[in-house]
Structure 1
């Protein structure tokens, strides 16, 4: 009778473990689905590391789940041997606590291990820039209203101020892309003010942007002509008319405007500022 009871307990334990593993498997499958919902074209070193580490997490969790059940099995055997020596009455009093009592604790531990491993990792600004620019390698961008606080050429005759909030994004773009800045100015002094402001802001210290890539023209059409000659992957501008004119020639454009405007074309995106487009503020 004792061996029959022990066999029944082992079968119940195996059934409990089976259901636990089944639930855990469904949980991990859900997590894997979230991970691989990303496009393989956008996988980076962190994502690949997460995939590689998944195997480690599964093995670790399996060992964590198996250990309590192994210990319970050994405990049942020792108690079964003791009960066979002390009689049926004692065997009844020494019955093992049902495995269901420890099931919630085991499942909770398993979920905690997986949750800890799959904590969302916030992508770096550099990763966001590459993703948002769709791997584009050449970018042209106007200065007024995007990089500079000023919004008209007349203001540049008095001062030029680099927007502090855009600096981090600008430097990340220069690391990844061949960036050209351009603007319409009314005199040579305005050009000098702009170059001095960019230099003092540290734009030229990263090595990705040099003064020769800051272009000036006397007309808005001159800026449009620069863009067409350079043939960038992206052009960033505040002038809706220029954006509309260039839509046929440039792969992607970003229209910077504080107001929501009608989309010029399917390949034209819009945002209130450059930093907001990349989500850095």
Structure 2
């Protein structure tokens, strides 16, 4: 019976540890399983130590005079019932779970944590401008105007905090290049983020943009051209394909999203 009670106590503690691990995983998705397990184990140890220390101590009293044992009684008190001990531990675990439920309410991770998690701690990112950072989608439109998406600014600035970011685009003339740089400057990208004008690259062909990416060897490349995405799949570790429709045959190193901001859960 004692062995059964001991096994039941260990089982209750393990169940509580698993319960706490699941809670921590939901609250902090950016942490790996080892970190969550270590935190959960520490929390279990602290919690049960606290419960032990807060248990009221038995006050010392004067021992009563020894009385003769009644007939048929050996005079030895019966040990605590193992089932009662197991039941008490189960009750403590249930109470502890209630405390955890109240203490660990769902916490939404910050945008910075999401960016680092989704980019898999990548340190260098290349990204095209048209259709991703800019409202315009063709080089011809850039001859008239260039407009930075307001919805992408927060994500873009968070990326620059953790990554070396290069922006690039194909333009048809020097005036288009000036319009793009002016739009980026007006949006505060050069002053608020970690981007300098030298990291905004221009070329006259799509092949030129592919060459830029190959030379920079980024951890991530972001593009809207499926042909460039396909060509770079053998050379770039991760790619993000920005398109309204998911590719029919995505490969393991290519993710897709309707927009950069949606990829990071900002929409």
TM-score in same-fold range (> 0.5): yes
Deviations 1:113-148 (A, max 9, x none): 222344443322222222222222111100000001
Of 7, 13, 18, 1:25 maps to 13
- Indicate the RMSD between aligned Cα atoms, in angstroms: 3.7
Deviation of 1:27 after TM superposition, in Å, equals: 3.6
Deviations 1:223-265 (A, max 9, x none): 1111112111111100011111111221211110011222353
Deviation of 1:178 after TM superposition, in Å, equals: 0.9
Indicate the residue corresponding to 2:204 in structure 1.
218
Aligned-partner Cα distance in 2 for 1:176–1:152: 29
1:184 aligns with 2:170: yes
1:153 aligns with 2:146: no
Aligned-partner Cα distance in 1 for 2:50–2:173: 74
1:137 aligns with 2:123: yes
Indicate the residue corresponding to 2:187 in structure 1.
201
Indicate the residue corresponding to 1:11 in structure 2.
none
Aligned-partner Cα distance in 1 for 2:37–2:96: 18
Structure 1 residues 22 and 57: CA distance shift in structure 2, 3 A: closer
Higher alpha-carbon deviation: 189-198 or 111-120: 111-120
Partner SS for 2:165: strand
Indicate the residue corresponding to 2:42 in structure 1.
55
Partner SS for 2:191: coil
Partner SS for 2:179: helix
Q: TM-score, normalised by structure 1?
A: 0.70
Q: TM-score, normalised by structure 2?
A: 0.73
Matches within 5 A, 1:1-281: 24-34=12-22, 43=31, 51-52=38-39, 55=42, 58-60=45-47, 63-64=50-51, 70=56, 108-281=94-267
Structure 1 residues 54 and 114: CA distance shift in structure 2, 3 A: farther
Deviations 1:187-243 (A, max 9, x none): 211111111111111111235110111011111111111111211111110001111
Structure 1 residues 18 and 110: CA distance shift in structure 2, 3 A: farther
Structure 1 residues 50 and 162: CA distance shift in structure 2, 3 A: farther
Higher alpha-carbon deviation: 29-38 or 214-223: 29-38
Q: Point out where structure 2 has 5 or more consecutive residues left out of the alignment.
A: 65-83
Structure 1 residues 19 and 233: CA distance shift in structure 2, 3 A: closer
Q: Which has the higher helix share?
A: 1
Aligned-partner Cα distance in 1 for 2:252–2:36: 35
